[in-house]
């Protein structure tokens, strides 16, 4: 008789966004005249750039002719895109990454979710708290997280590294050493949900810790394009030694607006070995077996980001969302909120007022100001009492929402 993977039964329901949708729907039904503004979404809203669109057209035309048609491509991605990435995202920043270190994927969600395939189930996994939930849920599905305790909101085999006001929501390396140290460490900077970034010194502390303890850092840099401060590293590989202990994930979703097109990449330097085994060769084996490549036309569109025109257009998208985030951040500060992120990041993280819980604040924003955001507690126990707003809305709605928050009433 077939048996299911029982780990799936341990997963709590994805309460956060379904609860947000439920409360929003109930409010709209009771107040059909309300003009709700959503600053809760993590999805982009502006269309693709003209460069990406013309690359897609070109690809479609090629597919329509026998001489230029392409079927299966290389599982790892086309050389033209891997070469552009190696040169432009790494070489130009003085980082030595070769095209063979790069695997093109169909999204950082799948890449960060699937990477666990190449690691043993007995690895101890550390996640930051609050956190992008994919890291936790995929480890829970694999059986690496243990059991979920609804009372604490934690899995009993995961190591939670807290982000809080004391560390400015940039978690410090844990006190755990040697056999107690985590084997796999998920880091995400610029961070979702807190919008914080790690300095060179902070990233160095993590890399040194990983090298000392034989850990592997899984570095999610999906929001790298939002970094404008020249002092903030764009890649974990800017830190010496990271090439021996880190894997990096990047995406075209939040810079070039590919959330619907789907393209990402994973960088595994061939120098990275665990127990003498190259993780690059394991992931290559996994990729060859389970993945048949990101569509050719999508890779062409991704490559357009590296043309002169494409780069300018992509920058304009990112700048638009960054300006929204800045408007939210400065507006909230003026209104007396404690705020993190919103600089080098599309996410703004704020402390609720009057000791409200994250959900009480959600209801306050929804019912009094007709704004929808995301309760921080949904990203982990350390998010309780905090709230996330995003710069992905329209400029007009962002300005209106901030006016409402500043005035404490509907405008
Ligand atoms: C931290 C983080 N990583 C990865 C992703 C997923 O990106 P992709 O669209 O490339 O799957 C997201 C999406 O919101 C994210 O916030």
Query: Could you read off the pLDDT of 228-272 as tens digits, one per residue?
Result: 999 999 999 999 999 999 999 999 999 999 999 999 999 999 999
Q: In terms of C-beta density within 10 A (0-12 exposed, 13-18 middle, 19 or more buried), how is residue 114 classed?
A: middle
Residue 264 and residue 110 in contact, taking contact as beta carbons nearer than 8 Å: yes
**Ligand 1 proximity of 235 Cβ (cutoff 6 Å):** no
Residue 237 and residue 267 in contact, taking contact as beta carbons nearer than 8 Å: yes
Query: Could you read off the pLDDT of 32-41 as tens digits, one per residue?
Result: 999 999 999 8
Which of 6-10, 39-43, 399-403 has the lowest average pLDDT?
Answer: 39-43
Q: How far is the CA of 29 from the centre of ligand 1 (A)?
A: 31
For the cut 90, the answer to whether the pLDDT of residue 18 exceeds it is no
For the cut 80, the answer to whether the pLDDT of residue 151 exceeds it is yes
Check residue 411 and give its pLDDT: 77
- Three-state SS sequence of the chain: CCCCCCHHHHCCCCHHHHHHHHHHHHHHHHCCCCCCEECCCCCCCCCCCHHHHHHHHHHHHHHCCCCCCCCCCCCCCCHHHHHHHHHHHHHHHCCCCCHHHEEEECCHHHHHHHHHHHCCCCCCEEEEECCCCHHHHHHHHHCCCCCEECCCCEECCEEEEECCCCCCCCCCCCCCCHHHCCCEEEEECCCCCCCCCCCHHHHHHHHHHHHHHCCEEEEECCCHHHCCCCCCCCCHHHCCCHHHCEEEEEECHHHHCCCCCCCEEEECCCCCEECCEEHHHHHHHHHHHHCCCCCHHHHHHHHHHHCHHHHHHHHHHHHHHHHHHHHHHHHHHHCCCCEEECCCCCEEEEECCCCCCHHHHHHHHHHHHCEECEEHHHHCHHHCCEEEEECCCCHHHHHHHHHHHHHCCCC
Check residue 16 and give its pLDDT: 86
Identify the CA nearest to 141 among candidates 282, 291, 9. Answer: 9
Exposure b/e, 48-78, CB count within 10 A at least 16 = b: bbebbebbbeebeeeeeeeeeeeeebebbbb
Residue 216 and residue 274 in contact, taking contact as beta carbons nearer than 8 Å: yes
Q: How far is the CA of 334 from the centre of ligand 1 (A)?
A: 30
**Ligand 1 proximity of 40 Cβ (cutoff 6 Å):** no
Q: How many CA atoms lie less than 13 Å away from 118 in the CB half-sphere?
A: 25
Task: Indicate the average pLDDT of the chain.
Answer: 97
**Ligand 1 proximity of 45 Cβ (cutoff 6 Å):** no
For the cut 80, the answer to whether the pLDDT of residue 15 exceeds it is no
**Ligand 1 proximity of 107 Cβ (cutoff 6 Å):** yes
**Ligand 1 proximity of 194 Cβ (cutoff 6 Å):** no
Q: How far is the CA of 162 from the centre of ligand 1 (A)?
A: 21
**Ligand 1 proximity of 193 Cβ (cutoff 6 Å):** no
**Ligand 1 proximity of 314 Cβ (cutoff 6 Å):** no
Exposure b/e, 261-286, CB count within 10 A at least 16 = b: bbbbbbbbbeebebeeeebbeebbeb
**Ligand 1 proximity of 128 Cβ (cutoff 6 Å):** no
Check residue 139 and give its pLDDT: 98
- The dihedral built from the CA positions of residue 250, 252, 255 and 258, taken in this order, carries a sign that is negative
Q: How far is the CA of 206 from the centre of ligand 1 (A)?
A: 22
**Ligand 1 proximity of 42 Cβ (cutoff 6 Å):** yes
With the most atoms of ligand 1 within 8 angstroms of its CB, the residue from 107, 131, 253 to mutate is 253
For the cut 90, the answer to whether the pLDDT of residue 191 exceeds it is yes
* Per-residue tokens: 239: 């830190």
Q: How far is the CA of 45 from the centre of ligand 1 (A)?
A: 15
Check residue 409 and give its pLDDT: 78
With the most atoms of ligand 1 within 8 angstroms of its CB, the residue from 43, 254, 305 to mutate is 254
Q: How far apart are CA 192 and CA 50, in angstroms?
A: 28
Check residue 13 and give its pLDDT: 81
Domains and CATH numbers, the chain: 13-42+309-407 (3.90.1150.10), 53-306 (3.40.640.10)
Band of residue 75 on the pLDDT scale cut at 50, 70, 90: very high
For the cut 80, the answer to whether the pLDDT of residue 400 exceeds it is yes
Check residue 42 and give its pLDDT: 87
Q: How far apart are CA 210 and CA 181, in angstroms?
A: 9
Query: Could you read off the pLDDT of 329-357 as tens digits, one per residue?
Result: 999 999 999 999 999 999 999 999 999 99
Give the number of other CB atoms < 10 A from CB of residue 313.
20
Band of residue 205 on the pLDDT scale cut at 50, 70, 90: very high
Band of residue 161 on the pLDDT scale cut at 50, 70, 90: very high
Q: How far is the CA of 223 from the centre of ligand 1 (A)?
A: 8
Dihedral angle of Cα 230, 45, 392, 89, to the nearest 10 degrees = -20
Band of residue 211 on the pLDDT scale cut at 50, 70, 90: very high
Check residue 105 and give its pLDDT: 98
Q: How far is the CA of 261 from the centre of ligand 1 (A)?
A: 13
Check residue 408 and give its pLDDT: 87
* Per-residue tokens: 209: 């810790």
Q: How far apart are CA 86 and CA 174, in angstroms?
A: 32
Q: How far is the CA of 275 from the centre of ligand 1 (A)?
A: 30
Give the number of other CB atoms < 10 A from CB of residue 333.
13
């Amino acid at each position: 008789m077939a048996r299911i993977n029982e780990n799936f039964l341990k997963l709590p329901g994805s309460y956060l966004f379904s609860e947000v949708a439920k409360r929003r729907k109930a409010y709209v039904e009771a107040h059909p005249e309300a003009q709700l503004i959503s600053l809760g979404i993590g999805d982009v809203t502006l269309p693709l750039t003209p460069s990406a669109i013309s690359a897609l057209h070109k690809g479609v035309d090629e597919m329509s002719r026998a001489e230029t048609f392409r079927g299966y491509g290389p599982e790892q991605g086309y050389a033209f895109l891997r070469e552009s990435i190696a040169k432009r995202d790494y070489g130009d920043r003085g980082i030595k990454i070769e095209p063979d270190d790069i695997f093109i994927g169909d999204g950082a969600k799948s890449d960060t979710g699937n990477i666990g395939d190449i690691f043993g189930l007995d690895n101890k996994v550390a996640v930051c708290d609050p956190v992008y939930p994919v890291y936790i849920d995929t480890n829970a599905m694999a059986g690496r997280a243990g059991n979920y305790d609804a009372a604490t909101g934690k899995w009993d085999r995961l190591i939670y590294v807290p982000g809080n006001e004391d560390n400015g929501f940039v978690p410090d390396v844990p006190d755990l050493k040697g056999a107690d140290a985590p084997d796999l460490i998920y880091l995400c900077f610029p961070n979702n949900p807190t919008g914080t970034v790690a300095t060179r010194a902070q990233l160095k502390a993590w890399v040194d810790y990983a090298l000392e303890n034989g850990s592997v850092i899984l570095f999610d840099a999906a929001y790298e394009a939002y970094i404008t401060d020249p002092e903030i590293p764009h890649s974990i590989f800017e830190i010496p030694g990271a090439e021996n202990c880190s894997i990096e994930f990047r995406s075209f979703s939040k810079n070039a607006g590919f959330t619907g097109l789907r393209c990402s990449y994973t960088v595994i330097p061939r120098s990275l070995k665990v127990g003498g085994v190259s993780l690059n060769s394991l992931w290559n084996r996994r990729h060859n077996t389970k993945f048949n490549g990101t569509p050719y036309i999508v890779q062409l569109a991704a490559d357009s980001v590296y043309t002169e025109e494409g780069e300018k257009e992509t920058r304009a998208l990112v700048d638009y969302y960054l300006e929204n985030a800045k408007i939210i951040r400065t507006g909230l500060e003026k209104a007396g909120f404690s705020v993190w992120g919103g600089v080098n990041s599309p996410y703004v993280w704020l402390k609720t007022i009057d000791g409200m819980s994250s959900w009480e604040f959600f209801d306050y924003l929804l019912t009094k100001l007709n704004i929808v955001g995301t309760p921080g507690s949904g990203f982990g126990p350390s998010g309780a009492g905090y709230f996330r707003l995003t710069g992905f809305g329209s400029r007009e709605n962002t300005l209106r929402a901030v006016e409402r928050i500043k005035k404490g009433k509907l405008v």
